[in-house]
């Protein structure tokens, strides 16, 4: 594919105005729904072959997420497209003001391998709902899904408006040399900096959905049984390869010795004595990532797990204790089923531990205390915060999904995707029936004094 020509064709089609109508946008959202519903079996097979995902993880995290995003967007699209009322200050009246969402133009979506449908076709719903044309770059690390998306998209969606480009670094470099009107990237901070540098040449706005070391506080008043169940369930989902998974635990020292056995117990309860045999436990994406994770296992004491099988890209759910704060496992996002556990005595110590690090994509706290919740919420900064659960916020389309600082910029999901992919244009209408001569120069001293007096009053 000639990438430069592809972008030019997308822009030419956008400039025809064909993508602006409500009918076109709805037809494309319908196409996304049909794509995932009619090809569910093939999509699930590709997900399993690429990454060894557990069946329900692939179904809920990829296939059903895309379907749900498209259906939610269809339901609300007409309202989102309407002009939004805005007030006009007294000094500017008579006037009518409103905000009109309009499409940006050509959008680039660069997806990630851990949820390759979710992170390509999900944001595509926002892009087409906003009336844009779009180029999709799936991750080359999930080649089966990438090839299937490349095959299916032109069969279902308007091939003049949505192009899929496969490939690796070389193709991505060529793509980033083009001018887009918006870029949405999901991945790591290293690549994000490269994308921002490329975007800066064209002053292209970017949304970056990155990762981070998401902390999870378990306070002394927490419901320990519920906390253990929810932490292990989410941490082990997709073998920990989720950007909003808990990256480490901070457990109050009064409950530390009681809580660790509960974590181990939940692993055995959910996945058996040998999780490798469990149909509910996923695999690491490839051998390179498995070796990366293996190198992190020596940086503490293994309390539970640690077994691996290189032939199967398998790593057992692993709990680490006695981890030095400066260990490598605490310097980078783990993105795997390894869970370091630390203890703290006072809440301010836990918050200081968190605030010494980059701002996380998500922060979790288990507590029954509103006061503890308030302290954590007010004294930390994170893309999102959840109390007494993990990851559930990402499934709420009424909430913006995104990071802050090193964990990303911008947000999407639901209407936030639509707004992300739109320009919210300010519009103001002034009637001509009122046009006093005193509004124009020349102004003598008396007129100027009166204008200042009136302006001060109107703006007070």
Q: What does the alpha-carbon distance between residue 220 and residue 110 come to, in Å, rounded to a whole number?
A: 42
Backbone angles phi, psi at 82, to 5 degrees: -70, 150
DSSP state of 132: -
CA distances for 15 relative to 105, 106, 391, angstroms = 8, 10, 39
Q: Is 202 helix (H, G, I), strand (E, B) or coil?
A: coil
Q: What does the DSSP assignment read for 138-182?
A: --TTSHHHHHHHHHHHHHHS-TTTEEE---SHHHHHHHHTS--SE
Q: Are 181 and 105 in contact (CB under 8 A)?
A: yes
Angle (nearest 5°) at CA 44 between 276 and 412: 105
Angle between helices 347-355 and 370-379 (to 10 degrees): 30
Active-site hit among 69, 125, 134, 209: 209
Q: What does the DSSP assignment read for 243-292?
A: TTS--EEEEETTTHHHHHHHHHHHHHHHH-S-GGG-TT----S-HHHHHH
Q: Give the residue carrying structure tokens 């531990």.
A: 353
Residue 209 known to be catalytic: yes
Residue 140 known to be catalytic: no
Active-site hit among 125, 216, 243, 411: 243
Q: What does the alpha-carbon distance between residue 232 and residue 155 come to, in Å, rounded to a whole number?
A: 40
N-term to C-term CA, the chain: 60
Read off the tokens for 146. Answer: 């990438």
Q: Are 359 and 403 in contact (CB under 8 A)?
A: yes
Active-site residue set: 209, 243
């Amino acid at each position: 594919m000639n990438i430069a020509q592809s972008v030019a064709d997308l822009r030419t089609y956008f400039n025809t105005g064909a993508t602006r109508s409500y009918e076109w946008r709805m037809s494309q959202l319908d196409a996304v729904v049909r794509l995932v519903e009619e090809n569910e079996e093939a999509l699930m097979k590709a997900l399993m072959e690429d990454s060894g995902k557990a069946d329900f993880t692939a179904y809920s995290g990829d296939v059903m997420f895309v379907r749900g995003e498209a259906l939610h967007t269809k339901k609300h699209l007409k309202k989102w497209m309407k002009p939004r009322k805005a007030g006009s200050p007294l000094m500017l009246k008579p006037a009518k003001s409103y905000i009109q969402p309009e499409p940006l133009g050509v959008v680039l979506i660069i997806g990630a391998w851990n949820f390759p449908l979710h992170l390509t076709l999900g944001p595509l719903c926002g892009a087409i709902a906003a009336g844009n044309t779009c180029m999709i770059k799936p991750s080359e690390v999930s080649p089966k899904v990438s090839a299937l998306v490349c095959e299916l998209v032109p069969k279902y969606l308007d091939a003049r408006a949505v192009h899929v480009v496969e490939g690796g670094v070389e193709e991505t470099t060529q793509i980033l040399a083009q001018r887009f009107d918006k870029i949405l990237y999901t991945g790591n901070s290293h690549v994000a900096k490269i994308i921002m540098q490329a975007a800066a040449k064209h002053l292209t706005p970017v949304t970056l959905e990155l990762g981070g070391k998401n902390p999870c506080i378990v306070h002394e008043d927490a419901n320990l049984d519920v906390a253990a169940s929810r932490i292990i369930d989410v941490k082990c989902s997709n073998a920990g390869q989720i950007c909003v998974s808990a990256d480490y635990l901070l457990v109050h020292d009064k409950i530390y010795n009681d809580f660790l056995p509960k974590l181990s117990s939940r692993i055995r309860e959910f996945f058996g004595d040998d999780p490798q045999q469990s149909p509910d436990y996923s695999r690491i994406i490839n051998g390179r990532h498995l070796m990366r994770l293996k190198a992190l296992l020596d940086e503490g004491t293994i309390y539970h797990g640690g077994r691996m099988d290189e032939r199967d890209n398998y790593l057992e759910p692993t709990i680490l204790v006695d981890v030095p704060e400066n260990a490598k496992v605490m310097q980078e996002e783990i993105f795997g089923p390894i869970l370091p556990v630390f203890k703290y005595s006072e809440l301010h110590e836990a918050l200081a531990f968190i605030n010494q690090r980059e701002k996380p994509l998500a922060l979790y706290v288990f507590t029954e205390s509103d006061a503890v919740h308030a302290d954590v919420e007010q004294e930390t900064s994170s893309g999102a915060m959840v109390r007494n659960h993990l990851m559930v916020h990402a499934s709420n389309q009424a909430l913006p999904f995104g990071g802050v600082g090193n964990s990303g910029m911008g947000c999407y999901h639901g209407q936030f995707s639509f707004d992300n992919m739109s320009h919210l244009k300010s519009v103001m209408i002034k009637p001509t029936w009122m046009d006093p001569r005193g509004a124009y120069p020349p102004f003598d001293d008396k007129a100027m004094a009166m204008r200042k007096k009136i302006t001060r009053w109107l703006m007070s």
